[in-house]
Structure 1
């Protein structure tokens, strides 16, 4: 948000790191190996109820504005997808601002639109915006096309 304070940001990231330590969230960062400057991040939330243990939520995909349109977000998504598969997840879900650059990037990366919810979130300036939910199946192609047999 435009009025985000350093204290609020610090508290947010401290809470994220606590969840990482508790193995409730996987945090991936993209950084310059020479300068250690962080320029991207994404989270995989894996602490879900027992009836949803097969899925994970992708959250807070952030790429610094100076580093956008370089394929960093796609690489972060590919990495988090591999981690989800290693954790035996078969479904990932996420949401983003409708018609944003991220919205189109997720479609390009093979995510499927579920639908939009108007006035779901706030833009950095405080105005309400529509959010679109996406999912991506991590099943093999054979599992995607097979359907249960009914007798």
Structure 2
């Protein structure tokens, strides 16, 4: 197996198609990432085109983890906040392909996102995750602090409501970095 490579993604047809496939797979498996099942290909591709266009404007960064030429996972770092919040960034859309889970890819993506946030001068990271099937354990192992839970926050991809857990972490000059 080749080494894992994490890099900032840009808008090209192949990358968009791979991101869309990963999003569709995640939603089909019950991942609470803002979409409902079944997720058609074109809306998934449109989401990623818009996301990568926002990245090109500096409003976010989309990172991809590549292994053996395959997109194994992705995470988005949201950077566009109001003038009174220039110090923070938000983690969104952390996804790892089903065949790549349990191999530390999500941890590596989160470390890369945190490093990029620090490079961008951010001192606070926030995120939310589904209370039932989310990645709470991962985030807590990475030093995020649970603020609280909101019940019935969103629909699950296959129907029914799920709560969300809100996390935060001081980074860079504002706190410790991932170990």
Fold conserved (TM > 0.5)? yes
Give the match's secondary structure for 2:146.
strand
Q: Deviations over 1:118-149 (max 9, x none)?
A: 11112120211010000010155xx65xxxxx
Tell me the residue number matched to 2:170: 137
The equivalent residue for 1:105 is 138
Does 1:95 pair with 2:128? yes
Q: For 1:15-54, what aligned pairs fall within 5 Å after superposition?
A: 15-32=50-67, 34=68, 36-54=69-87
Q: TM-score w.r.t. structure 2 length?
A: 0.75
**Whole-angstrom distance in 2 between the partners of 1:31 and 1:126:** 32
Q: 1:61 aligns with which of 94, 97, 114?
A: 94
TM superposition shift of 1:100: 2.8
The runs of at least 4 aligned residues of structure 1 exceeding 2 Å deviation read: none
> C-alpha distance in 1, partners of 2:41/2:120?
34
How many residue pairs match? The answer is 140
SS at 2:84's partner residue?
Answer: helix
Distance 1:62 1:122 in 2: 18
More RCO (CA 8 Å, sep 6+): 2
**Between 38-47 and 94-103, the greater mean CA deviation after superposition:** 94-103
- Match of residue 149 from structure 1: none
Quick check: 2:132–2:162 contact (8 Å CA) kept in 1? no
Structure 1 unmatched runs, 5+ = 145-151
Report the secondary structure of 2:158's partner residue: coil
| Separation in structure 1 between the aligned mates of residue 131 and residue 122 of structure 2, nearest angstrom | 26
Q: State the SS of the aligned residue for 2:93.
A: strand
Which residue in 2 is equivalent to 1:122?
155
Q: Distance in 2 between matches of 1:8 and 1:83?
A: 28
Give 1:6's aligned residue: 41
**Structure 2 unaligned spans of 5+:** 1-35
